[in-house]
C-alpha cells in the first residue's frame, strides 16, 4: 500500500468507525478530525482537546521530552482543489501547548491506518495502528461504534527510558455535532458527567450527561479506555490543564527502588498523590469536561511495548433531520425517530467495549487478503471500505440500511449548505453504481431492495427516493427532485440489483415475494416507454444526470437490455419459462433495434432530438453501463462484442482528458490533471444546452468504464483511467479516502468494487453454486455472497479456495483463460 509523506499527507483523512455507527477521521499528520458521532454528516465537525501525546523521561537528567503525537499543520496548497476540504486542520492556530513531532508518515490497508512518528529528540520510536473491526458478510461485527488505537513504543537508546502515553478525549454528549466548540464551551454543553472506570487491570473514563432527556438526539455515552492501569484525570477544563497534569505526574517508588515491575508500577499508580486536583461534579452550564489517561511504560534498551487506547460511543437517537424532498408536509415540529441499529445490540459504551474485546483483531484477515492485489487495484479496493462505513450509510433501529447520496460538504454549499445528508435517501439511480456495500454485506443489499420494492406506486413505478419512516406517504405522483419525475434508470437498476441479491444468496423464496412487483414494474416500463412494441424505449426518460433524456439512447437502453436478461434468468429460476421466453424474445428485438439505431461506427450515440440536455452525437462515458451490470451478473454480451470493445476504446480515446479549464459546473479535475469526462463531442455537434454535468469527472463512472475495459481485455485503457483517478487522490490536494461528487463520500464511487471481479474474473451464484474465475496464476481476494476469502490459481490451472468467513458451496468450478 502507498505510504504518504511530506505534502502528500495534507489531505489524507482516513475514516474510522462502524458501519452506520459514526465516524472520526485520522489524518496523516496523526491528528483526529471530522468528528461525526451524532448521526449528522458534518465534514468540518471538530472535537477539541481530543488527542494523543507522549512524555519520555530517564533516570539521569536532563532527559525529559514531551511531544504531541501529531506533526505541525502542513501549509495550504498554493492551488487548493475545488469542492473538497479534507486539508482543513481545524485547530491549526491553537494546538495543545506541547511541541509537535517533526514529521509523520502514513499508510493504510483497510481497516487499518498506520502512522509513524519521526522526531530526532525522541529517544523512542513510536508507531500507531488504528482500526475499527471489519468482517465481510457480517454487518454487525463491522458496525461497532468504536475505534482502537494501538501504539507501539520502542526504546532506541542504550539506557532505560520510562514515560507516559497520554490520551485526551472531550465529553461530547449534548453537542449537536455542528456548533463550534471553544475549548470546552458550546451551547449544548452543561451537566456533563465523567466517571472514573477501573476494572480488571484496565483504566478508563465513562462520560455521559444525565441532564439530557433519554430521547434527546445528543444524549448518549462516550468512553475513553486503555488496556493497562493508568493515571486518570477524569475532569479537566482544557488541553493545557491536561498536559500540565501529564508534566507533573511521577512514579516515585519505582524510580527510588529501581523496581519497574508491573506490580510496583500498579501500586504506585494507586497511591499517586494528585498533582492537579481537577474539578468535581457535573460541568457548569455551557461547558463540558475533558478526560485524560496517562499510561506508564518502562523500556530497557531495545525493548518495545504496545499500549491500546479505545474510543467508544453510544448515541441511540437518530431522527429525520434532513429535507425529504417533494411537497411540503404538514408535520410541523413533529420529530420522526428512526433510532440506530447498534443501540439495539448494546446497552451502552461499556457493552460496545466488551464486545470488541472478544475479537479485537477482526479485520486483519481482510486487510491481508486485499494486499495480495497489485497496485493501484489494492488501494482502490481497500478504500472502498471507507465509503461503506462513512456517514453516507446508516442503519436504523429496525436494522434496515439506508444511504444518502453523500454527505453535504464543500461541494454542496452553493445550493444546500454543508451539514447533513446530501440528497435523500436511497436514491436508486445513484445506487445503480454502488457495488461495495451490497457485495461486502449482501444482507444489507437485500435490505435496500426490500425498501425499494415496498415504496412502489400503485401503477408499478418506483420513486427514486424513499421518505423515512417508510410508513409516511411516499413520493407518488409528485415532483421528486433530481430528476423531477421518477428515474427510469433507477427503476431498471432495481431489477438488476434484485438479481444480484438472488445470486448472492437471498434465496428463491425472497425472490418470489418481490416477483409480482418486479413484473408489474417491467409492464409499466413497456406501457410507458415502449408503446409501439419494438423493444426500444422512447419519450422522456428521467435519469441520474438530474434531467430527462429524450428518444432512444444506449445509457437507458443498455440498462433495459440487462434488465430483460436478468428478468429472464430469474423467471427460469422460478420455473416460469413462458414469461422467461417472452423476456428473451423482447431482449433480442430490443438489442437489434438499439444496435441499428444508435451505432455510428465508433460508439453508440443518440438521434438528434433538439431537446435540452440530450447528447446527440456525443460520446457518453455511461453508454455501456448496462453491459457493466451484465458482466457482474453473468448475462453475457448485450450487444456485439466487437462494438462493445470499439465503443470502450472510443470512450477512453475521446473522454480521458489531460488538462482542464473552467467549465462552469462542479470541478473534480482541474489544471493539468487527467480524468474521464461524462460526455464529449469529438466530431462537433455539441448542443446549445448539452447534457447536464457533461464536463465533470465522476469517479463512479471512471470505475465502471475501467472495469468494462478489464473485462474486454483493454488492460492498458483500464490502467490509464485508474492511475489518473488515484493520481488525483494522492493526498496532496484530495483525500485518497473520500471521493466527492454531490457531497463527500459519494455513493456512486462504490462502483470501484467492480474492478475486483473484473480483474480476477470471479463470478459465483449461490443458486446454481457455479464458480468461475479468470485470473492469471496468483492469489486474490473474493467475496461471494455467502462466503469470502482468497483463491489461488496455480501454474497448472488448479483453483484452490481458502474460505475465511461464511461458507461457499460449489457444485462446479470453472477456470476461464
Q: Would you say the C-alpha torsion 777, 779, 781, 782 has a positive or negative sign? A: positive
Q: Tell me the three cell numbers of residue 413.
A: 454549499
State the pLDDT at residue 270: 78
State the pLDDT at residue 259: 67
Average pLDDT of the chain?
95
Give the burial string for 313-330 (b: 16+ CB within 10 Å, else e).
bbbbbbbbebebbbeeee
| Strand-pair category, 406-407 with 421-422 | antiparallel
For residue 677, list its beta bridge partners: 697
Distance CA(722)–CA(728), nearest Å, equals: 10
Beta carbons within 10 angstroms of residue 362's beta carbon: 20
| Strand-pair category, 770-773 with 812-815 | parallel
Q: How many CA atoms lie within 13 A of 549 on its CB side?
A: 27
Question: 3-state class of 358 per DSSP?
Answer: helix
State the pLDDT at residue 80: 96
Q: Which helix (H) or strand (E) holds 525?
A: helix 508-529
Inter-helix orientation angle 554-573/508-529, to 10°: 140
The answer to whether the predicted template modeling score (pTM) of the entire model surpasses 0.85 is: yes
User: Which residues, 6+ apart, have CB-to-CB distance to 38 below 8 Å?
Assistant: 22, 172, 175, 176, 177, 217, 218, 315
* DSSP conformation class of 752: G
* DSSP conformation class of 182: B
For residue 812, list its beta bridge partners: 770
Residue 605 near residue 544, CB atoms below 8 Å: no
DSSP secondary structure string for all residues of 75-86: PPPSSPPTT--T
Residue in the block written with cell 411540503:
328
Residue 69 near residue 117, CB atoms below 8 Å: yes
User: Measuring CA to CA, which residue among 404, 399, 444, 389 is closest to residue 24?
Assistant: 389
Q: Is it true that the peptide bond before 469 is cis, omega within 30 degrees of 0?
A: yes
| Strand-pair category, 23-27 with 32-36 | antiparallel
DSSP secondary structure string for all residues of 370-407: HTTSPTTHHHHHHHHHHHHTSTTEEE-TTS-EEE-SEE
Alpha-carbon torsion angle 75, 78, 83, 87, nearest 10? -10
Distance CA(179)–CA(55), nearest Å, equals: 33
Q: Tell me the three cell numbers of residue 790.
A: 482468497
Residue 756 near residue 778, CB atoms below 8 Å: no
Distance CA(502)–CA(346), nearest Å, equals: 31
- 425-473 pLDDT, tens digit per residue, is 999 999 999 999 999 999 999 999 999 999 999 999 999 999 999 999 9
- 78-123 pLDDT, tens digit per residue, is 999 999 999 999 999 999 999 999 999 999 999 999 999 999 999 9
Sheet holding 3-4, edge to edge: 3-4, 103-109, 112-118, 124-131, 146-155, 304-314, 221-226, 202-208, 193-199
Q: Classify burial at 746, counting beta carbons within 10 Å of its beta carbon; exposed 0-12, middle 13-18, buried 19 or more.
A: buried
State the pLDDT at residue 224: 98
No. of helices (H) and no. of strands (E), the chain: 18, 34
Q: Is it true that the peptide bond before 376 is cis, omega within 30 degrees of 0?
A: yes
State the pLDDT at residue 267: 78
Distance CA(401)–CA(341), nearest Å, equals: 9
User: Across the chain, which distance is largest between two alpha carbons, in Å?
Assistant: 95
Q: Tell me the three cell numbers of residue 613.
A: 440536455
User: Measuring CA to CA, which residue among 57, 315, 297, 36 is closest to residue 174?
Assistant: 315
Question: What are the residue ranges in the chain where pLDDT is below 50?
Answer: none
Give the burial string for 390-407 (b: 16+ CB within 10 Å, else e).
bbbbbbbbebbbbbbbbb
Residue in the block written with cell 461525526:
36
State the pLDDT at residue 708: 98
Q: Classify burial at 277, counting beta carbons within 10 Å of its beta carbon; exposed 0-12, middle 13-18, buried 19 or more.
A: exposed
Q: Tell me the three cell numbers of residue 813.
A: 468450478
Amino acid at each position: 500500500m502507498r505510504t504518504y509523506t511530506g505534502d502528500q499527507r495534507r489531505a489524507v483523512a482516513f475514516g474510522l468507525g462502524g458501519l452506520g455507527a459514526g465516524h472520526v477521521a485520522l489524518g496523516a499528520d496523526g491528528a483526529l478530525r471530522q468528528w461525526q458521532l451524532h448521526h449528522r454528516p458534518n465534514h468540518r465537525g471538530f472535537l477539541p482537546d481530543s488527542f494523543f501525546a507522549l512524555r519520555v523521561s530517564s533516570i539521569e537528567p536532563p532527559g525529559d521530552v514531551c511531544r504531541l503525537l501529531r506533526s505541525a499543520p502542513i501549509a495550504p496548497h498554493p492551488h487548493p482543489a475545488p469542492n473538497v476540504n479534507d486539508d482543513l486542520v481545524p485547530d491549526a492556530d491553537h494546538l495543545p501547548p506541547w511541541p509537535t513531532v517533526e514529521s509523520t508518515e502514513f499508510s493504510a490497508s483497510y481497516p487499518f491506518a498506520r502512522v509513524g512518528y519521526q522526531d530526532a529528540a525522541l529517544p523512542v520510536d513510536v508507531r500507531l495502528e488504528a482500526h475499527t473491526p471489519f468482517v465481510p458478510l457480517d454487518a454487525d461485527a463491522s458496525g461497532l461504534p468504536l475505534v482502537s488505537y494501538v501504539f507501539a513504543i520502542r526504546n532506541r537508546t542504550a539506557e532505560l527510558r520510562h514515560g507516559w502515553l497520554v490520551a485526551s478525549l472531550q465529553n461530547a454528549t449534548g453537542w449537536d455535532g455542528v456548533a463550534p466548540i471553544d475549548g470546552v464551551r458550546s451551547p449544548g454543553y452543561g451537566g456533563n458527567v465523567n466517571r472514573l472506570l477501573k476494572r480488571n487491570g484496565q483504566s478508563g473514563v465513562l462520560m455521559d450527561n444525565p441532564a439530557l432527556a433519554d430521547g434527546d438526539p445528543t444524549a448518549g455515552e462516550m468512553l475513553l479506555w486503555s488496556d493497562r492501569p493508568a493515571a486518570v484525570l477524569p475532569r479537566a477544563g482544557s488541553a493545557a490543564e491536561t498536559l500540565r497534569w501529564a508534566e507533573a505526574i511521577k512514579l516515585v517508588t519505582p524510580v527510588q527502588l529501581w523496581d519497574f515491575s508491573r506490580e510496583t508500577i500498579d501500586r504506585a499508580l494507586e497511591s499517586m498523590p494528585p498533582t492537579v486536583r481537577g474539578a468535581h461534579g457535573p460541568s457548569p452550564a455551557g461547558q463540558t469536561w475533558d478526560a485524560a489517561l496517562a499510561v506508564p511504560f518502562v523500556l530497557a534498551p531495545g525493548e518495545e511495548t504496545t499500549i491500546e487506547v479505545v474510543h467508544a460511543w453510544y448515541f441511540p437517537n437518530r431522527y429525520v433531520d434532513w429535507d425529504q424532498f417533494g411537497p411540503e408536509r404538514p408535520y410541523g415540529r413533529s420529530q420522526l425517530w428512526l433510532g440506530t441499529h447498534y443501540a439495539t445490540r448494546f446497552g451502552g459504551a461499556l457493552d460496545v467495549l466488551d464486545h470488541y474485546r472478544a475479537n479485537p483483531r477482526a479485520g486483519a484477515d481482510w486487510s491481508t487478503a486485499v494486499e495480495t492485489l497489485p497496485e493501484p487495484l489494492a488501494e482502490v479496493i481497500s478504500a472502498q471500505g471507507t465509503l461503506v462505513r462513512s456517514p453516507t450509510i446508516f442503519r436504523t433501529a429496525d436494522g434496515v440500511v439506508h444511504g444518502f447520496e453523500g454527505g453535504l460538504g464543500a461541494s454542496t454549499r452553493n445550493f444546500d449548505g454543508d451539514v447533513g445528508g446530501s440528497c435523500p435517501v436511497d436514491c436508486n439511480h445513484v445506487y445503480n453504481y454502488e457495488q461495495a456495500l451490497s457485495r461486502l454485506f449482501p444482507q444489507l443489499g437485500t435490505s435496500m431492495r426490500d425498501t425499494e420494492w415496498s415504496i412502489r406506486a400503485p401503477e408499478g413505478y418506483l420513486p427514486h427516493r424513499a421518505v423515512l419512516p417508510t410508513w409516511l406517504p411516499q413520493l407518488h405522483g409528485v415532483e421528486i427532485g433530481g430528476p423531477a419525475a421518477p428515474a427510469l434508470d433507477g427503476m431498471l437498476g432495481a431489477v438488476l440489483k434484485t438479481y444480484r441479491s438472488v445470486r448472492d444468496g437471498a434465496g428463491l423464496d425472497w425472490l418470489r415475494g418481490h416477483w409480482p412487483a418486479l413484473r408489474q414494474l417491467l409492464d409499466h416500463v413497456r406501457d410507458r416507454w415502449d408503446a409501439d412494441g419494438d423493444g426500444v424505449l422512447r419519450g422522456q426518460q428521467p435519469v441520474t444526470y438530474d434531467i430527462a433524456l429524450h428518444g432512444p439512447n444506449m445509457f437507458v437502453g443498455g440498462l433495459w437490455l440487462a434488465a430483460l436478461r436478468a428478468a429472464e434468468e430469474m423467471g427460469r429460476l422460478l420455473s416460469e419459462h413462458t414469461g422467461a421466453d417472452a423476456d428473451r424474445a423482447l431482449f433480442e428485438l430490443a438489442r437489434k433495434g438499439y444496435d441499428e439505431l444508435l451505432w455510428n461506427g465508433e460508439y453508440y450515440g443518440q438521434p438528434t432530438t433538439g431537446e435540452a440536455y440530450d447528447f446527440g452525437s456525443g460520446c457518453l462515458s455511461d453508454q455501456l453501463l448496462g453491459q457493466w451490470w451484465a458482466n457482474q451478473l453473468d448475462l453475457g454480451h448485450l450487444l456485439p462484442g466487437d462494438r462493445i470493445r470499439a465503443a470502450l476504446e472510443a470512450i477512453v480515446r475521446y473522454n480521458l482528458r489531460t488538462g482542464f479549464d473552467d467549465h462552469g459546473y462542479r470541478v473534480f479535475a482541474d489544471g493539468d490533471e487527467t480524468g474521464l469526462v461524462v460526455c464529449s463531442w469529438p466530431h462537433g455537434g455539441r448542443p446549445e444546452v448539452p447534457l447536464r454535468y457533461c464536463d465533470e469527472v465522476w469517479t463512479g463512472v471512471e470505475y465502471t468504464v475501467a472495469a468494462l475495459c478489464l473485462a474486454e481485455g483493454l488492460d492498458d485503457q483500464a490502467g490509464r483511467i485508474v492511475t489518473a483517478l488515484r493520481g488525483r487522490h494522492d493526498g496532496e490536494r484530495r483525500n485518497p479516502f473520500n471521493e466527492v461528487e454531490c457531497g463527500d463520500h459519494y455513493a456512486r464511487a462504490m462502483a470501484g468494487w467492480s474492478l475486483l471481479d473484473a480483474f480476477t474474473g470471479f463470478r459465483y451464484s449461490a443458486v446454481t453454486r457455479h464458480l468461475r474465475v479468470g485470473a492469471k496464476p496468483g492469489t486474490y481476494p473474493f467475496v461471494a455472497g455467502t462466503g469470502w476469502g482468497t483463491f489461488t490459481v496455480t501454474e497448472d490451472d488448479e483453483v484452490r479456495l481458502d474460505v475465511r468467513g461464511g461458507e461457499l458451496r460449489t457444485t462446479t468450478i470453472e477456470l476461464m483463460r
